[in-house]
Amino acid sequence: RGGAVIVKAYNTSERTARLFTEATGQDGEPLWIQPVVSDMESELDAYIERQRRYDPDLWVVEIEDKQGRHFLTEKVQEE
């Protein structure tokens, strides 16, 4: 499999963002978690840059939405 995937959901109305990354839940099922509990885009971008150093094949998907929706269809652990 290729590199990890990070989804950045940007709320265009509030100018905030959230990150989601793939993980495995306690039940062994895949889910998406927020690796950084912040809505400040600069902090999220710093996290992405750190991850890029570890995984040069990292995929970052940025979604812009007026409500900040992530559109993930799998289970999401909301903070």
| 7 vs 30 pLDDT, higher one | 7
CATH number of the domain to which 36 belongs: 3.40.1530.20
Number of folded domains in the chain? 1
Q: What is the pLDDT of residue 2?
A: 65
CB 4 within 8 A of CB 59: yes
When pLDDT is cut at 50, 70 and 90, the band that residue 17 belongs to is: very high
72: in domain = no
Q: Is residue 59 part of a domain?
A: yes
Longest dimension (CA), the chain: 36
H or E stretch covering 21: strand 16-24
- Return the DSSP state at 76: B
CA-angle at 42, arms to 36 and 45, nearest 5°: 65
**Does 76 fall in a domain?**
no
What is the per-residue pLDDT for 79?
59
Q: Reply yes or no on whether the pLDDT at 12 is more than 60.
A: yes
Instruction: Give 26's pLDDT tier (boundaries 50, 70, 90).
Output: confident
**Is the predicted pLDDT of residue 1 greater than 60, yes or no?**
no
| pLDDT(77) > 80 | yes
Q: Which domain, by its residues, includes 33?
A: 5-65
- DSSP category for residue 66: T
**Residue 15 falls within a domain, yes or no?**
yes
> Within a domain: residue 74?
no
